[in-house]
Amino acid sequence: MSRRLRTLAAALCALPLALAAAPSAQAADPTTMTSGFYVDPNSTAKRWVAANPGDGRAPAINSAIANTPMARWFGSWSGTIGTATGAYVGAADQADKLPVLVAYNVYNRDYCGGHSAGGASSPSAYASWIAQFAGGIGSRPAVVILEPDSLGDYGCMNQAQIDEREAMLTGALGEFSRQAPNTWVYMDAGNPAWTNAATMARRLHEAGVRQAHGFSLNVSNYFTTAENTAFGDAVNRELSARYGYTKPFVVDTSRNGNGSNGQWCNPSGRRIGTPTRMGGGAEMLLWIKTPGESDGNCGIGAGSRAGDFLPEAAYKMIYGY
The residues with which 100 forms a beta bridge, in sequence order, are 143
Residues 28, 181: Cα–Cα separation, whole Å: 7
Q: Distances from the Cα of 259 to the Cαs of 48, 129, 192, 319, in angstroms? A: 26, 35, 12, 14
265 in Cβ contact with 296 (< 8 Å): yes
Q: How many CB atoms lie within 10 A of CB 87?
A: 13
Residues 33, 183: Cα–Cα separation, whole Å: 11
SS3 category, 103: strand
Q: Give me the numbers of helices (H) and strands (E) for the chain, helices first please.
A: 9, 8
Q: How many CB atoms lie within 10 A of CB 90?
A: 15
- Torsion 31-37-83-305 (CA) sign: positive
Q: What's the N-to-C CA distance of the chain in angstroms?
A: 81
Any catalytic annotation for residue 188?
no
Which one of 40, 93, 110, 149 is the catalytic residue?
149
Residues 280, 168: Cα–Cα separation, whole Å: 31
Residues 116, 204: Cα–Cα separation, whole Å: 22
Mind telling me the catalytic residues? 149
